[in-house]
Structure 1
């Protein structure tokens, strides 16, 4: 075991960003996908940030932390009204019109970034700006803290085209914040509006009434019913591009094809001209039958609500047993593969069976049992949250103080216990969650002439360089090594951890940063 932190100079960023029915070539490509983005992770670049002046820091605080206005400052109470106008809470709102609208700690460009909003998000703001330093449109305090510059990234116009074209945001807290699809070959075209039948024939060579592939019926079931067409799409207007979204080509009806081996999170899907189209988070429309819908995983971690040790069934076809009136264990039901249980510590038949807190017994030989962690930093003694990850067990256990509260199977780096500087091993040591993104795009390593483009990876928590805990929708082998260095989680487990760890991400925000560090993560053999 290596408890001390790994020195920064000795670590290179690596990673991987669930199993789904993929075409063979794409499945092989995704095997080698990298966790860390090819560029700096979205929102990262807090280096060389300056401490905010005291006044600005006070303004960045939640409204309840600000001093009460002096209602008697003068006869008309103008100073009190002016101060109230600088606080959110009066019903005024602003909209994000960029892929990342940064929230700063103070009303100035060089102030530390606290997080960001995503295009289409609407948050509460102050009635009046707190300044114009480097921002002609003005810096507005937003709820629950921080300041946003109105301009390319944000607008006071809640009917802005980017807002009108974004019918919904991510379904935060659900296992999959968007509906996910992976491109087939050739990849889909990126339409700029719902295309007419004539435009589809011109762009794709489709003929009217052409039959859709059989697999679309399966995808229809996975994606659910299409959404109603909103007034924006019914109008036929071209989709805007949020500031920061890529747009290399532009034709009258489309923006070329998607990148080969792409995966997308879809905000909405629409039925149109006898076809189904999906709206991506970068505001492109793609024909669904040119993609494969992601099938959700059955993997779920286990919440530990009683005293005991978490464990997982690693075999198929395992029977549970229950004592009859005479106390003899009799078959009772089934323990699904990778199901989580909490063991009470009692055994039977010479240790062959282990009792669970559900009142049933499970064959001990089928179980992978957690090794409960030790308090190496005083976190447990102080009742604080921390996470223990064992590479050998491929298991994560979350603690509140000395008590385990959640456990799940993970997939760490294919390099296993190797050197992360020279292999795809997961870095070992003690770290802290520093960035949390509801979703983030991750680029794969170069694979011959192509690379994997993994968009909207769910519930990403960076803890060291580009290493992160995050959900995956492209494989379903949790409990085995698989990634290029990151800690892969089933999306339901990633969603649970995302809401449990610090720093919290405020409602309506897409990400939050904390350079001082949030929840502790200890990764070891």
Structure 2
């Protein structure tokens, strides 16, 4: 199919998989999942074959006890099992602090399904405590789930939870990231810099998150998120893309037919505007890449779009926002995502109303993004991505706002490139930091404040996502390109 020509509906159905069932049970294993995901343009530059690992391990599995006794008052429960020297939770307890990042269970037992992970040092409210298998007492926390009391401690302060990853108002990403030169040396501690000046060699291709700066004499070091020290001369910091999509307010101000002007052949070059349809027509101006334009009409052959009188742009140089039929069994206010791989455009809907639209970077040839209808089954605030290519190892630190929708395929931030509108990944859907954060906060499953990850469950469903190749003929009336009155968070 010609991606540039406007498509008219016909009777052929859209080739998508059957919708995922409404109830999705999260994994039951007590062990953290081993996740794999693609790094797209980063892999193109530095290598391929990345895995994703959950950063917070869950507690070790214990032998279950036979019964669960319900209905205990929290303080009474802990008065029966005092810690050495004092009770575990004191009478003046106002909140419970997580001693470490820990799995939140769906039921008060060790082998219950994981709902997600509560981050270390978050202070939460509780509802009740019960005796159960593998733990002196299981504590039901707000807003949901159970944690073994051994991972919680009483705190006299009020509860405090924060959205993760932590981000200041001026930041695009939660910190600074850099690629490490193969000439770099890594040190385990500041003391090792003195004892072992040559340090340890970097193996493979590594990207790190930078936490703080340290000076030792004339040398300047960065401390990384995993506690290592690296000479700053051998780091190449990334500048995250500032690109962002169209939110509700922007969509309200635009007419129904909208596109981003960007050449597919030379995406970083300006797009030529012609006086009439046809490459031989006079050039009357240029548009900067990714300029948002309103389309007035198309030429007879469908290869050119008019922006204004005597202003025409080749359709092959446009990434159009093209609505498609709604999902099967769509609820009136259901939040879902529609990804058009041909146009490299993602649209977020509430029911039939689009509330956000942006450019993406999907899988390149031989590494195509899967098409079909899926659900987001896991959302992770930050995920380390690691892997191997032959004998070389690769590691990319803390990729923010990751949303897995089909096995190891995910929507996630790509802080290492600025190639939106180009299919450059190895299968995942890359998003700019602004877009990834907005969609992570908006989509299901909800990630409670203070949690670093959350699974989709029957009670907290992940948002559905349809991935398609352009406007395949459907015979159905497309969704109206109307605008929602409900803003994204």
Normalised to the residue count of structure 1, the TM-score between the two structures is 0.63
2: CA distance, partners of 1:425 / 1:260: 26
Cα gap change, 1:443/1:492 in structure 2, threshold over 3 Å: closer, same or farther?
same
Q: Give 1:418-497 correspondences, 5 Å limit.
A: 423-444=366-387, 446-497=388-439
2: CA distance, partners of 1:311 / 1:262: 37
Question: CA offsets per residue over residues 152-209 of structure 1, 9 Å max, x none?
Answer: xx35288xxxxxxxxx9632885312321221113441423x34xxx4243234xxxx
Cα gap change, 1:348/1:55 in structure 2, threshold over 3 Å: closer, same or farther?
farther
2: CA distance, partners of 1:507 / 1:201: 42
Cα gap change, 1:298/1:128 in structure 2, threshold over 3 Å: closer, same or farther?
closer
SS class of match (1:131): strand
Match of 2:259 in 1: 311
Cα gap change, 1:370/1:129 in structure 2, threshold over 3 Å: closer, same or farther?
same
Aligned-residue offset at 1:276:
4.1
CA RMSD across the alignment? 4.4
Q: 2:172 aligns with which of 150, 175, 178?
A: 175
Match of 2:113 in 1: 112
Long gaps (5+) in structure 2:
1-13, 22-34, 81-87, 156-163, 264-268, 275-283, 470-489
Cα gap change, 1:353/1:412 in structure 2, threshold over 3 Å: closer, same or farther?
same
Match of 1:131 in 2: 131
1: CA distance, partners of 2:394 / 2:310: 44
Aligned partners of 1:18 and 1:475 also within 8 Å: no
2: CA distance, partners of 1:202 / 1:184: 22
Q: Which has the higher helix share?
A: 1
Aligned-residue offset at 1:471:
0.7
Q: 2:320 aligns with which of 369, 379, 389?
A: 369
Aligned-residue offset at 1:144:
2.1
1:391 and 2:388 matched: no
Aligned partners of 2:376 and 2:462 also within 8 Å: yes
Cα gap change, 1:387/1:507 in structure 2, threshold over 3 Å: closer, same or farther?
same
1: CA distance, partners of 2:311 / 2:97: 55
Aligned-residue offset at 1:349:
10
SS class of match (1:387): strand
Aligned partners of 1:121 and 1:169 also within 8 Å: no
Long gaps (5+) in structure 1:
21-25, 60-68, 70-76, 159-167, 206-253, 322-330, 416-422
1: CA distance, partners of 2:194 / 2:256: 62
Which moved further from structure 2: 495-504 or 397-406? 397-406
SS class of match (2:117): strand
Aligned-residue offset at 1:261:
0.9
Cα gap change, 1:400/1:182 in structure 2, threshold over 3 Å: closer, same or farther?
same
Question: CA offsets per residue over residues 201-244 of structure 1, 9 Å max, x none?
Answer: 43234xxxxxxxxxxxxxxxxxxxxxxxxxxxxxxxxxxxxxxx
Match of 1:260 in 2: 204
Match of 1:140 in 2: 139
Question: CA offsets per residue over residues 270-326 of structure 1, 9 Å max, x none?
Answer: 4554544434333334333332111121322222431624421204435999xxxxx
Match of 1:103 in 2: 104
- How many residue pairs were aligned? 393
Aligned-residue offset at 1:139:
3.2
Normalised to the residue count of structure 2, the TM-score between the two structures is 0.67
1:353 and 2:306 matched: yes
Aligned-residue offset at 1:54:
11
Question: CA offsets per residue over residues 105-144 of structure 1, 9 Å max, x none?
Answer: 22221122111134x44222449854363135x4333332
Aligned-residue offset at 1:334:
8.0
Aligned-residue offset at 1:435:
0.6
Aligned-residue offset at 1:145:
1.9
Q: 2:351 aligns with which of 401, 408, 419?
A: 401
SS class of match (1:461): strand
Q: 2:329 aligns with which of 374, 378, 394?
A: 378
Which moved further from structure 2: 272-281 or 512-521? 272-281
Question: CA offsets per residue over residues 41-66 of structure 1, 9 Å max, x none?
Answer: 97899xxxx9xx9997x99xxxxxxx
SS class of match (1:496): helix
